[in-house]
Amino acid sequence: MAVQTAPSTSRGQRTLKINVTVNGVRHDVEVEARTLLVHFLRENLGMTGTHIGCDTTNCGACTVLLNGRAVKSCTVFAVQADQGTVATVEGLERTASSIRSRRASTRSTVCSAAFALPG
């Protein structure tokens, strides 16, 4: 992890520069060292599909894929995702939507082919 430190914020918190790819989009940002990944996703990136469901790390509502592994983003600091890739429910929805439209397109092509064939 090649985290660069930056000057402290007005609240006296140390910030760190991180580079994270979320749902295929790269983000070079500064975050406070104590920022949880779930807060980074919701507040910094506006990805509110990742929910905070508890204070006990038991519910799993905050689950995302970090470098392909499911993690509870309320238990991971944003700086731990530096140089990594994150997939949220928004990214999974885009993937599912793409698969659905590809399937629909394939069905349409198959139906067209069936009409074009004699017999």
> Which residue number, 17 or 51, has a Cβ lying nearer to ligand FES?
51
**Token reading at 118:** 């004699």
Identified binder of ligand FES from the candidate list 54, 104, 110, 111, rule CB under 6 A: 54
Q: Characterise 19 by phi-psi region: left (phi > 0), alpha (psi -120 to 50), beta (else).
A: beta
Torsion angle of the four alpha carbons 98, 99, 101, 107, in this order, in degrees rounded to the nearest 10 = 160
Q: How many residues bind ligand FES (CB under 6 A)?
A: 11
> Which residue number, 24 or 53, has a Cβ lying nearer to ligand FES?
53
> Which residue number, 59 or 92, has a Cβ lying nearer to ligand FES?
59
Query: By CB under 6 A, is residue 59 in contact with ligand FES?
Result: yes
Distance CA 85, CA 49 (A): 17
